[in-house]
């Protein structure tokens, strides 16, 4: 559990620091993984299958999110010619 | 007939409404007909009521007509009601008649003016307010009329509003009288809180019962009422507005600032005389104010060069006489002088207007001269009116009224020789300035040609007023000369007689004689300085002392300068300091705080994902912290 | 549960994750991420969840990382991007996020320490149990995730479309092309929708 917390925090740090969209997505994956780890650990603690079931859902969700996210990254790259997250800041103000 | 009393203020008010709304779209004749006609109706009704009163006076000497209850709050229940006793009867009659004369005059005088209907509307509103003031039965209703006449005075002084100077003069009048009005209002608060009513008769009754003579409450209340009277009647120290009020049309000056409005203060004090009798210090103050004012204004009048300003200072001075009379307890003498003053002062203003119009709006008397033959009506009007003003013995009204005042100043138990001497000096000054005016305008070399001849509507009022200025005094002739105390007797039911001191050094006749000598002295001086040996006058004026005195008196004994430095400049300085409204800066500060917060928050909405993620994380951290520590 | 294996795998996971978020080259980061995921799979096996461990490797490390790599390949960034990345990533930018992350960790650990975490039970949960749970009480979850996957499929297909890659279908899908022309692509339209909704 502590490990999960540490990994999650690392994911957060990565998310906040990096401006490259790909790295942001990677950090999100890290976080999701950490969350899944937490679930499984808890499930193992109580010797129930529920934790693993949750992990499966998280996995499915992560997969779909990654695919859509990467598609968006492609579109963004074609739009702005860069992968900088700050380039897509037209909704400011 | 008495039931018609309420029509006296209502008819002018109704005609004001008509003139104000519809009048500007109707012909001049219609406007004049309505404007003058309403006052004529007013006068007719006043005459009818007077006749009824004299034939069969109502019980108790007073008739009260209640219209409705105005306010009903707890114990404060003033009514809209009119009170008719001999005092208000005489005032109503004089005011309505003089107003009618002046309205008739102005029907022709203002004929070329664009604001014809506006003028008559304001004048009618003024008459309505003045009647309200005179006939009011409670002090609140009187205050309503008081404010109404103040408003009309403002509107009419600034009648030719296109010229800023007129507006400024109107503002000055309004503000200075406002100071007096505030004192009046505070006096009303005091009276109500201590005596529980504002109904005049009831008030006087309770005051006489509850307050001993000389009680501090009575002194304070009457002093506050005196403050109001001083403001409205242009006495020391609030007299500075009246000379500048001459910026208004001449009929206005005649009606408001000579015959009627400025006497409202006199009326107030006469009406509440019980209160003043209960407060001898205040009454002495009234006399002193009157005496000082009449001297001060008389001196200023001697050096003025604008024809209307001379008459304005003369008005201030004559009302000083009325105040002097009130102060020594000669109540009916003050009203007598009011009546005669209304006649001759209105006459003087009307003929002054005639001269001004004939010379194409020329006001400077040093540019006039030799008009004796060209304007006979004006000349005789001035002579008769001026003599009445100065008190030409035996044949003018002013002589009788002024002498009554002077005699009672000496002989009354509240009078004193000092005040009597002041009055005498005033007679000399009065005679000096009015004859100076006459000599400068009508004698000597002609400097300007007459270009305008008056019509019957101007000549008739002047003739009527001339007659009245001569005959008006015969209603009260002193003992030695014929003993006709009709006027005083008439007023006896409303105003008490002045108590006489015993064993006085001079008799009434002697006082009259001395007054006649002062009059003659003034006339002689005027003749000498301004007709015969004008070089002497000039050398006096050009000497260093003479120049200084001239300047000092010309500027109204420096009062304008004093007020300017004492009040106007500090207020302006403070307004300047407050230019950015530092009191308001609190609210501006709030708005700025809002703006700053907005700016700060705006930077967080920059569309950058990293920022938003950081925000979410920080929020999570905080949230967890809260969870952990509670 | 094998404690040593757990700690070694945990250490590897942490180290590689740190390396992931600090690399300048995207491909390197991805490879480290893959290693991190595999070590987490080891931990899963250690916790008695073999089925999940396998799933982790196949789906997470297998397809998701590969997907990332494909995208990087398609983007064809080159050396320039790596240099730009180096300029963006300066040490002082780490302060804030590191602080936030540290506080987060501290709080989570504190929570965990306060909580009631006994020693994990040492038995294995077989795939059969998981399957039974999935098709039993969690049936709705399964249906929903299938819908989610369907939506993701369609979305990714549609979003990944752009003019240059499919020239021969322009006649048929002219409306898409025009929308790309005028609207500037679904990304713009997407943000427009978002703006409208907001």
> Is the CB of residue B613 less than 8 Å away from at least one CB of chain C?
no
Decide if A91 and B607 are in contact by the 8 Å CB cutoff: yes
> Is the CB of residue A80 less than 8 Å away from at least one CB of chain C?
no
Closest CA to B84 of B59, B64, B67, B68: B64
CA Rg value for chain A:
16
- A15 contacts in B (CB within 8 Å)? 610, 613, 617
For residue B127, the model assigns a pLDDT of 92
Q: Which residue carries 């409404």 as its tokens? A: B17
Average pLDDT over every residue of C143-157:
90
| CB distance B308 to B254 below 8 Å | no
The residues pairing with A84 across neighbouring beta strands, listed in sequence order, are: A20
Decide if A52 and C14 are in contact by the 8 Å CB cutoff: no
For residue C80, the model assigns a pLDDT of 65
- A93 contacts in B (CB within 8 Å)? 602, 605-607
According to DSSP, residue C119 is labeled P
Q: Which residue carries 């004529």 as its tokens? A: B40
Decide if B609 and A92 are in contact by the 8 Å CB cutoff: no
CA distance C29 to C18: 10
Neighbouring residues of B536: CB distance < 8 A, sequence distance ≥ 6: B528, B529
SS3 C78: coil
- C3 contacts in A (CB within 8 Å)? none
Closest CA to C68 of A63, B105, B187, B411: A63
Regions of chain B where pLDDT drops below 70: 452, 479-484, 498-506, 533-542, 581
For residue C192, the model assigns a pLDDT of 38
CA distance A47 to B366: 123
Closest-CA distance of chain A to residue B610, Å: 5
| Claim: this prediction has a pTM higher than 0.90 | no
Whether the per-residue pLDDT at C181 is higher than 60: the answer is: no
| CB distance B24 to B68 below 8 Å | no
Closest-CA distance of chain B to residue A54, Å: 22
Decide if C107 and B617 are in contact by the 8 Å CB cutoff: no
Considering only residues 104 to 133 of chain C, which have any Cβ-Cβ distance to chain A shorter than 8 Å? 104-105, 108-109, 112, 117-118, 120-121, 123, 125, 129-130, 132-133
For residue range B321-355, list pLDDT tens digits in order. 999 988 888 888 888 888 888 888 888 998 888 88
Whether the per-residue pLDDT at C197 is higher than 90: the answer is: no
For residue B367, the model assigns a pLDDT of 78
Closest-CA distance of chain C to residue B616, Å: 11
> Is the CB of residue C107 less than 8 Å away from at least one CB of chain B?
yes
Decide if A3 and C74 are in contact by the 8 Å CB cutoff: no
The residue of chain C nearest to residue A66, with distances taken between CA atoms, is C64
> Is the CB of residue B614 less than 8 Å away from at least one CB of chain A?
yes
Burial of C159 (0-12, 13-18, 19+ CB in 10 A): buried
For residue range C80-129, list pLDDT tens digits in order. 666 666 666 666 677 778 888 888 888 888 777 776 666 656 677 777 77
For residue range B488-535, list pLDDT tens digits in order. 777 777 777 766 665 566 677 777 788 888 888 888 888 877 777 666
Closest CA to B107 of B190, B10, B194, B32: B32
* C-alpha of B607 from chain center: 74
* Confidence band for C156, pLDDT divided at 50, 70 and 90: confident
For residue B244, the model assigns a pLDDT of 86
- A17 contacts in B (CB within 8 Å)? 610
For residue C162, the model assigns a pLDDT of 65
For residue C193, the model assigns a pLDDT of 39
CA distance B420 to B120: 42
Considering only residues 31 to 60 of chain A, which have any Cβ-Cβ distance to chain C shorter than 8 Å? 33, 36-37, 40-41, 43-53, 55-57, 59-60
Mean pLDDT of chain C: 75
For residue C33, the model assigns a pLDDT of 92
> Is the CB of residue B22 less than 8 Å away from at least one CB of chain C?
no
Mean pLDDT of chain B: 83
- A19 contacts in B (CB within 8 Å)? 610
SS3 B458: helix
Which secondary structure element, helix H or strand E, spans residue B189, and what is its range?
Answer: helix B164-195
Give me B157's structure tokens.
């002084």
For residue C191, the model assigns a pLDDT of 40
For B624, the closest of C96, C101, C107 (CB atoms) is C107
- B618 contacts in C (CB within 8 Å)? 100
CA distance B432 to B314: 11
For residue B13, the model assigns a pLDDT of 92
**SS3 track for B43-106:** HHHHHHHHHHHHHCCCHHHCEEEEEEECCCECCECCEEEEEECHHHHHHHHHHHHHHHHHHHHH
- B610 contacts in A (CB within 8 Å)? 15-19, 24, 85-86
> Is the CB of residue A88 less than 8 Å away from at least one CB of chain B?
yes
Closest CA to B385 of B259, B481, B264: B259
Considering only residues 42 to 81 of chain C, which have any Cβ-Cβ distance to chain A shorter than 8 Å? 43-44, 47-49, 51-52, 55-56, 59-60, 63-64, 67-68, 71-72, 74-75, 77, 81
pLDDT 10s per residue in chain A (93 long)? 788 888 888 888 888 887 788 888 888 999 999 999 988 888 888 777 888 888 889 999 999 999 998 888 888 888 877 777 777 777 766
């Amino acid at each position: 559990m502590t490990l999960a917390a540490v990994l999650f925090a690392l994911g957060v740090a990565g998310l906040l620091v990096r401006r490259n969209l790909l790295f942001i997505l990677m950090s999100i994956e890290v976080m999701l993984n950490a969350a899944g780890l937490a679930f499984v650990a808890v499930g193992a603690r109580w010797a129930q299958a529920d934790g693993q079931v949750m992990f499966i859902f998280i996995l499915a969700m992560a997969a779909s999110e990654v695919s859509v996210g990467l598609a968006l990254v492609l579109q963004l790259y074609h739009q702005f010619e860069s992968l900088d997250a700050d380039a897509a800041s037209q909704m400011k103000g | 007939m008495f039931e018609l009393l309420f029509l006296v203020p209502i008819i002018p008010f109704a005609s004001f409404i008509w003139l104000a709304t519809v009048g500007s779209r109707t012909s001049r004749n219609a406007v004049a007909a309505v404007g003058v006609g309403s006052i004529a109706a007013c006068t007719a009704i006043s005459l009818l009521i007077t006749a009824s009163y004299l034939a069969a006076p109502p019980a108790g000497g007073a008739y009260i007509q209640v219209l409705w209850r105005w306010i009903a709050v707890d114990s404060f229940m003033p009514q809209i009601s009119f009170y008719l006793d001999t005092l208000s009867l005489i005032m109503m009659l004089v005011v309505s008649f003089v107003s009618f004369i002046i309205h008739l005059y102005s029907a022709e005088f203002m004929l070329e003016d664009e604001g014809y209907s506006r003028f008559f509307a304001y004048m009618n509103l003024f008459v309505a307010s003045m009647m309200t003031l005179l006939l009011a039965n409670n002090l609140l209703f009187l205050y309503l009329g008081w404010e109404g006449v103040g408003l009309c005075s403002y509107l009419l002084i600034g009648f030719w509003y296109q010229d800023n100077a007129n507006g400024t003069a109107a503002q000055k009048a309004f503000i200075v009288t406002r100071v007096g009005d505030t004192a009046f209002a505070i006096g009303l608060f005091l009276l109500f809180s201590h005596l529980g009513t504002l109904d005049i008769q009831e008030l006087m009754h309770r005051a006489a019962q509850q307050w001993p003579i000389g009680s501090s409450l009575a002194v304070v209340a009457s002093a506050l009422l005196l403050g109001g009277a001083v403001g409205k009647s242009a006495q020391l120290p609030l007299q500075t507005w009246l000379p500048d009020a001459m910026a208004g049309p001449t009929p206005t000056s005649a009606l408001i600032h000579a015959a009627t409005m400025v006497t409202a203060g006199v009326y107030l004090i006469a009406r509440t005389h019980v209160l003043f009798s209960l407060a001898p210090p205040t009454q002495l103050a009234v006399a002193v104010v009157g005496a000082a004012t009449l001297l001060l204004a008389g001196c200023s009048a001697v050096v003025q060069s604008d024809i209307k300003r001379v008459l304005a200072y003369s008005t201030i001075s004559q009302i000083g006489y009325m105040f002097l009379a009130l102060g020594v307890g000669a109540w009916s003498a003050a009203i007598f002088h009011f009546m005669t003053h209304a006649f001759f002062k209105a006459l003087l203003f009307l003929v002054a207007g005639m001269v001004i119009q004939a010379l194409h709006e020329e006001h400077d008397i040093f540019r006039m001269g030799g008009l004796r033959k060209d304007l006979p009506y004006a000349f005789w009007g001035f002579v008769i009116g001026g003599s009445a003003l100065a008190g030409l013995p035996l044949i003018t009204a002013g002589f009788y009224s002024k002498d009554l005042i002077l005699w009672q100043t000496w002989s009354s138990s509240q009078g004193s020789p000092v005040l009597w001497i002041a009055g005498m000096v005033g007679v000399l000054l009065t005679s000096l300035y009015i004859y100076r005016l006459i000599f400068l305008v009508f004698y000597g070399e002609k400097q300007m040609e007459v270009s305008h001849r008056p019509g019957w509507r101007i000549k008739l009022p002047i003739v009527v007023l001339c007659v009245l200025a001569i005959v008006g005094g015969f209603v009260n002739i002193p003992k030695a000369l014929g003993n006709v105390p009709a006027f005083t007797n008439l007023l006896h039911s409303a105003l008490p007689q002045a108590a006489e001191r015993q064993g006085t050094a001079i008799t009434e006749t002697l006082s009259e004689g001395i007054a006649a000598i002062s009059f003659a002295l003034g006339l002689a001086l005027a003749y000498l300085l301004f007709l015969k040996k004008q070089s002497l006058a000039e050398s006096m004026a050009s000497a260093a002392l003479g120049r200084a005195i001239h300047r000092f008196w010309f500027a109204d004994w420096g009062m304008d300068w004093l007020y300017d430095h004492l009040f106007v400049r500090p207020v302006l300085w403070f307004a300047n300091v407050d230019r950015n409204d530092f009191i308001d800066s609190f609210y501006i500060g709030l708005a700025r705080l809002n703006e700053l917060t907005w700016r700060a928050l705006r930077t967080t909405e920059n569309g950058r994902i990293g920022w938003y993620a950081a925000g979410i994380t920080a929020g999570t951290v905080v949230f967890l912290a809260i969870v952990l520590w509670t | 549960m094998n404690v040593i294996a757990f700690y070694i795998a945990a250490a590897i996971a942490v180290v590689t994750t740190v390396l992931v978020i600090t690399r300048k080259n995207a491909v390197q980061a991805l490879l480290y991420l893959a290693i991190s995921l595999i070590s987490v799979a080891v931990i899963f096996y250690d916790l008695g969840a073999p089925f999940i461990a396998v799933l982790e490797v196949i789906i997470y490390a297998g397809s998701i990382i590969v997907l990332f790599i494909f995208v990087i390949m398609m983007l064809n960034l080159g050396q320039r991007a790596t240099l730009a990345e180096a300029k963006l990533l300066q040490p002082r930018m780490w302060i804030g996020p590191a602080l936030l992350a540290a506080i987060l960790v501290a709080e989570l650990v504190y929570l965990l320490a306060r909580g009631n975490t006994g020693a994990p039970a040492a038995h294995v949960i077989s795939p059969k149990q998981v399957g039974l749970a999935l098709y039993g009480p969690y049936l709705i979850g399964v249906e929903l995730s299938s819908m989610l996957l369907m939506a993701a499929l369609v979305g990714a297909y549609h979003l990944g479309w752009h003019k240059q890659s499919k020239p021969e279908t322009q006649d048929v899908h002219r409306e898409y092309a025009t929308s790309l022309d005028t609207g500037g692509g679904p990304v713009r339209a997407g943000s427009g929708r978002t703006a409208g909704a907001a």
